[in-house]
Amino acid sequence: MTAASPGMADVVVVGGGIGGLGSALALARAGRRVRVLEQASAFGEVGAGLQMAPNATRILRAWGLLDEVVHRGVLPRRLVMRDAVDGRELSHLDLTEAADRYGAPYVVIHRSDLHTILVEACRAAGVDLVTGTEVVEVVNGVDRAVAVSARRRDHGRLVLAADGSNSLLRTRLVNDEPVSSAYVAYRGAVPIEQIADTADLALDDVVFYVGPYCHLVQYPLRRGEIFNQVAVFRSPRALAGVPDWGTPDELDAAFAGTCEKVRSALPNLWRDRWWRMYDREPIGTWADRRLALTGDAAHPMLQYLAQGACQALEDADCLAGLVTKYGGQHSTGQLGVGNDVDWDAALRDYVELRTLRTARVQRSARDWGDLWHCDGLFRAVRNALLRDRDPADYRHIDWLYGA
């Protein structure tokens, strides 16, 4: 074996983000030999907070990671929706009751903390973690595939593309483009002591202020040591086709008509970077022979349901379960290296199960954004309906959190 020709793996995962590491861990726990190829020089994540709903924390519990996730994160008391213009509460969800209903808690955690937990778990499970490797092509075959980079060729029974919403490997399966929502997100995660006035902040809730073509999300991180805020707005420049869109002056203009509690959050956001919000249309083509997609490479979605990372973990859990279902054992009783699995059957079921589920989440996220950002009569009707909602009514989230 040489650096240019490493040993055969069951699965070569391209991309070392949360989705890629989750898949690697789940497959390693299923007895598979897994290698992760990350193009950066070190494993790490940027960004701020993540909301992990019960459909994801049930999986983290099964993997033995939930206690550590809770330890590094926060268990919020409620999800609260408020009107961004007048600040009034519209509705809320009691997360203690939701945890009882769905059998797992709702946790908020810094993205880098969850990523670190997954890296450590992958190392402990024997996953081969390789950095500084940018995969530029996959040579696909009927019983194996090869991930090709400048310095090496990695052979696996399956190459799993976890290379994000701008996935290069997705283009090997489908010819599509990201869809701009014309919305942009500004984030800020700062030590709580840097917040000038915390008297009016809900430090044990996740709070959503929804307004005309804008919203603000606030919640604590790292056991309450950090306060996380995300401001999202529709960019007039994006709608006009101007290349330089989502700039700080547009941020200030978008929130000019909101209440003081919302406007006071803006100085604590990072103004030197912003995230333009794209998704893609759902597709049914996630696999071809021995190349398959997962996470954002398969189903990039808008953030309104806070399900991007959650759905990536669902992908991982589903695929690992199917590999176990369609796997065999050698005469020694030990799981073998890849050739004891009916990969065609596992990938067929994976695509069938996950494309239906994630397409619904993608479309629902778009609809949820429309609901948050409505104005005029539609805003008045939305507010009236939400204020009339019984907090114990779970009809609209059972399908998502209970699945």
Do residues 290 and 140 touch, judged by C-beta distance below 8 A? yes
Burial class (CB in 10 A: 0-12, 13-18, 19+), 401: buried
Do residues 207 and 265 touch, judged by C-beta distance below 8 A? no
Do residues 133 and 152 touch, judged by C-beta distance below 8 A? yes
At 97, is the secondary structure helix, strand, or coil? Answer: helix
Do residues 173 and 291 touch, judged by C-beta distance below 8 A? yes
List the structure tokens of 269: 């956001």
What residue spans of 95-207 are helical by DSSP H? Answer: 95-102, 111-124
Location of structure tokens 């006071």: 264
Q: What are phi and psi of 339, to 5 degrees?
A: -80, 0
**Residue 54, amino acid:** P
The one catalytic residue in 106, 209, 219, 350 is 219
| CA separation for the pair 27, 292 (Å, rounded) | 14
In sequence order, the β-bridge partners of residue 179 are 279
Return the beta strands (E) in 122-272 as ranges: 128-130, 135-140, 145-149, 153-161, 179-191, 205-211, 214-221, 226-234
Count of other CB atoms within 10 angstroms of residue 272: 5
Half-sphere exposure (CA, 13 Å, Cβ side) for 240? 8
What residue spans of 224-283 are helical by DSSP H? Answer: 236-240, 248-254, 260-263
Q: Is 183 among the catalytic positions?
A: no
Do residues 347 and 318 touch, judged by C-beta distance below 8 A? no
Q: What are phi and psi of 197, to 5 degrees?
A: -135, 110
Residues that are catalytic: 219
